[in-house]
Structure 1
Amino acid sequence: MNSNNFDKIALITGISGFVGSHLAQQLVAQGWQVRGLIRASSNLRWIQDLPITLYQCGLTNIESLEGPLQGVTHVFHIAGVVKANSLQQFEAGNVATTATLLQAISKYNKNIQHIVVTSSLAAAGPTVPNLPLIEAMAAKPVNWYGKSKWAQEQVCLNYTQQQQQQPPLPITIIRPPVVYGPRETDVLLFFKLIKRGILLQPTGNKQVLSLIYIDDLVNGLIAAAQSKNTINQTYFLAHNQIYIWHDLAKTTAQILQKKIITISLPRSFIKTMAIIAQGWAKLRGRTATTLNTQKIIEMEQAAWICSPAKAYNDFNFEATTSLASGLKTTLNWYQQHGWL
């Protein structure tokens, strides 16, 4: 524990989720005072034993945020929507909520030191296999989620400018790629199939991607929040190694001591299944399933890769966890908790 951090008070939105809970855990370990926003439906299993203060309020009402923001030095905006049935639902969960939070900070906390907002690589869009994205490149999001995260970034950029006699807010935008680690659920299905010796992939799939292990992401978020160099800047946080899905499958199979067979599925079949799954979820009034038409758009792209060079240059960020090490820790955790 670092005694120099006792005067730092962090407010985390989305604190009960995958990234938020890991962030809270690390901040507490470093001696920060931690507050978090939760909903009535939030599952507190990962944070219930932490010495933190929780506030049950959403991000739709500015006045409800006055109490949680009092005296806070740093805000980590992690909350967001990753699955929805329409662009409007994504915008409500990612854009409107961010605007509410930043408006509340402007009104109730004039002395905020730093705000870190988690966006996504999806906001920048895909690229080609030999051209990792850098922050200076024009954003070209291709699906609803990416478009909503790009719009979220524009809200943030507006608040970094003078706002009707309000001082600009010190905001840093972070764009992670695929994040993996203990407690993550979206990539879990992939691991379950590998455990059964199966790798399902679209015919001719050669998509390349960037990854980051949860501990590296959390360390990057905290480092960015403590650097003046990062204010009003946007960063990709990722491991500098580029992967293909078969790399994940091969390494996972080695750790689990499984032999795998690759089953290539026609893209038309996958699209049809996605349409059916999404339609069924919508009819039942449920959030979109993991396989949906927007996910298909994501799968069709040649590359989701980015360069972390700017983050390294500005605040010495480096993702040090190798794929083998990160996957081993993750898989062991899944097995210990009966998830795999």
Structure 2
Amino acid sequence: MKQSILITGASGFIGSFLVEEALRRGFETWAGVRASSSRKYLQEPGLHFLELDFAHTDRLYEQLKAHREAHGAFDYVVHCAGVTKCIDPADFDRVNCGQTCALANALRSLDMTPRQFAFISTLSVFGPVHEDTYKPIRETDTPQPNTAYGRSKLKAEQALLAMDGFPCVIYRPTGVYGPRERDYFLMAESIKRHVDMSVGYRRQDLTFVYVKDVVQAVFLGIERSIKGRAYFLSDGQVYASRTFSDLIRRELGNPLIIRIKCPLFLLKVVSLLAERWAALRKTTSTLNRDKYNIMKQRNWQCDITPAVRELGYRPEYDLERGVKETIAWYKKEGWL
């Protein structure tokens, strides 16, 4: 009998890749989506859909109860749903923490606790740690998130780990890139238009992880029945601030570019204005206070040794290989 897995946020960037891998591994795969979610990247045969209303706890409970009565409980749940941009900063806590807890509590109250509940968090839960020494951020360091997004994810982590006996495992990827991703795509689009912008004048150590390596880690955790742990995920390398854009430029045929270095104070002003203008229009902006704090952070190194040792995690993509595959996909799909 097939093992069943629910992947929330399945229509999103990471979620859609998790769905593909679950199907490839032979899981009975349920894509947790909203009624309004795009299903563009969820076209695989054999995929099941489950509409979940995270915004209304009673409705979520009834949806899960109906699923249990018709199909039984899930063996595994990967919670990938969440928000990275909000008009109202309070929505970060409401969605990333409140709705995560609502799902976990509904599963527990319905006697649907899975064998493992994997939560996709972020390196941003730690914030600007070791900014002077540039030492890798370790799990023993004290989190000091400086973004509403990072704080909301940290609250969700703490709530899950505080649930007695709840079999959660947490993944904290650094910057995730790959096909279908839109934020890093903006950098590629800018370079194609002959502009490359960097921020600040002080050294910045960056880390990245290709989406398929995040997926690899999640399924390694399932194979090893990990519970009560949290892991940083990167490709194991550290990059200078220009490496990513240089690799993109190479894959685009080395177009002539104008390099612009933006002082942090100017970026802060522009970010605040962009956020304010977006709020007046009741939409979100790529540039905002959270984005400013992320771009300001100088040290993104993180220690993946526990993931390597406990999961058997071996990143398959360094930045060169990952960018090559990503840009090829953007070209194929007509994004570039």
Q: How would you bin the TM-score normalised by the shorter chain?
A: over 0.9
> What is the 5 A alignment of 1:1-340?
7-59=2-54, 60-61=56-57, 62-68=61-67, 70-110=72-112, 112-127=114-129, 128=131, 130-159=134-163, 161=164, 168-228=165-225, 230-258=226-254, 259-286=256-283, 288-340=284-336
Q: For 1:52-82, what per-residue CA distance to the aligned partner results, in whole angstroms no more than 9, with x for missing partners?
A: 1112222232232223453210000000010
Aligned residue for 1:304, secondary structure, equals: coil
Query: How far off is 1:201 after superposition?
Result: 1.4
User: How far apart are the structure 2 equivalents of 1:281 and 1:75?
Assistant: 35
Q: For 1:175-225, what per-residue CA distance to the aligned partner results, in whole angstroms no more than 9, with x for missing partners?
A: 011000000011111111122232111241532121100111111111112
Decide whether the 8 Å contact of 2:200 with 2:296 is kept in 1: no
**Structure 1 segments unaligned to the other structure (5+ residues):** 1-5, 162-167
User: How far apart are the structure 2 equivalents of 1:124 and 1:152?
Assistant: 13
The code of the aligned residue for 1:239 comes to: D
The code of the aligned residue for 1:215 comes to: K
User: How far apart are the structure 1 equivalents of 2:66 and 2:127?
Assistant: 37
Aligned residue for 1:155, secondary structure, equals: helix
**Structure 2 segments unaligned to the other structure (5+ residues):** none
User: How far apart are the structure 2 equivalents of 1:176 and 1:217?
Assistant: 7
User: How far apart are the structure 1 equivalents of 2:311 and 2:149?
Assistant: 28
**Identical columns (%):** 30
Aligned residue for 1:81, secondary structure, equals: coil
RMSD of the TM alignment (CA)? 1.6
Aligned residue for 2:78, secondary structure, equals: strand
Decide whether the 8 Å contact of 2:174 with 2:208 is kept in 1: yes
Decide whether the 8 Å contact of 1:197 with 1:260 is kept in 2: yes
Aligned residue for 1:319, secondary structure, equals: coil
Decide whether the 8 Å contact of 1:87 with 1:148 is kept in 2: no
**Structure 1 consecutive aligned stretches of length 4 or more whose deviation exceeds 6 Å:** none
User: How far apart are the structure 2 equivalents of 1:204 and 1:50?
Assistant: 50
The code of the aligned residue for 2:263 comes to: P
Query: How far off is 1:110 after superposition?
Result: 4.4
Query: How far off is 1:30 after superposition?
Result: 1.0
Q: How many residues align?
A: 326
Decide whether the 8 Å contact of 1:237 with 1:311 is kept in 2: yes
Counterpart residue number, 1:164: none
User: How far apart are the structure 2 equivalents of 1:247 and 1:170?
Assistant: 38
The code of the aligned residue for 1:79 comes to: A
* Stretch of structure 1 that moved more, 78-87 or 179-188: 78-87
Decide whether the 8 Å contact of 2:113 with 2:166 is kept in 1: no
Q: For 1:17-62, what per-residue CA distance to the aligned partner results, in whole angstroms no more than 9, with x for missing partners?
A: 0000000001101111100221122110000334211122222322
Aligned residue for 1:335, secondary structure, equals: helix
